[in-house]
Chain A
Amino acid sequence: MKLEKTGGILIVRLDGELDHHYATKIREAVDGAVMVGDVRKIIFDFTGVGFMDSSGIGTLMGRYKLMQTLGGSVGVFGISPRLDKLLSMSGIKKIISIYNSEKEAVGGVS
Chain B
Amino acid sequence: MQYSNEMKIIFPNKSSNEGFARVAVAAFAAQLDLTVEEMSDIKTAVSEAVTNAIVHGYENLKGYITVECKILDNTIEITVNDSGHGIADVEKARQPLYTSRPELERSGMGFTVMETFMDEVSVTSALGVGTTVTMKKRISPKE
**Residue positions of A touching B, CB distance < 8 A:** 17, 19-21, 23-24, 27, 51-55, 57-59, 61-62, 82, 86, 89-91
Contact = CB atoms under 8 A, between A and B. Distances in A.
Contact of B109 (A27, A51, A82, A90): A90
A15 to B, nearest CB: 13
28 contacts: A19-B15, A19-B18, A19-B19, A20-B15, A20-B54, A20-B55, A21-B16, A21-B18, A21-B19, A24-B15, A27-B105, A51-B22, A51-B47, A53-B48, A53-B110, A54-B110, A54-B112, A55-B51, A55-B105, A55-B107, A57-B109, A58-B106, A61-B107, A86-B113, A89-B96, A89-B112, A89-B116, A91-B97
Q: Is the interface of A mostly helix, strand, loop or mixed?
A: helix
Nearest to B21: A19
Contacts of A57: 107, 109
A51 B113 CA distance: 14
A34 B9 CA distance: 40
Given A21-B16, A89-B116, A53 B105 contact: no
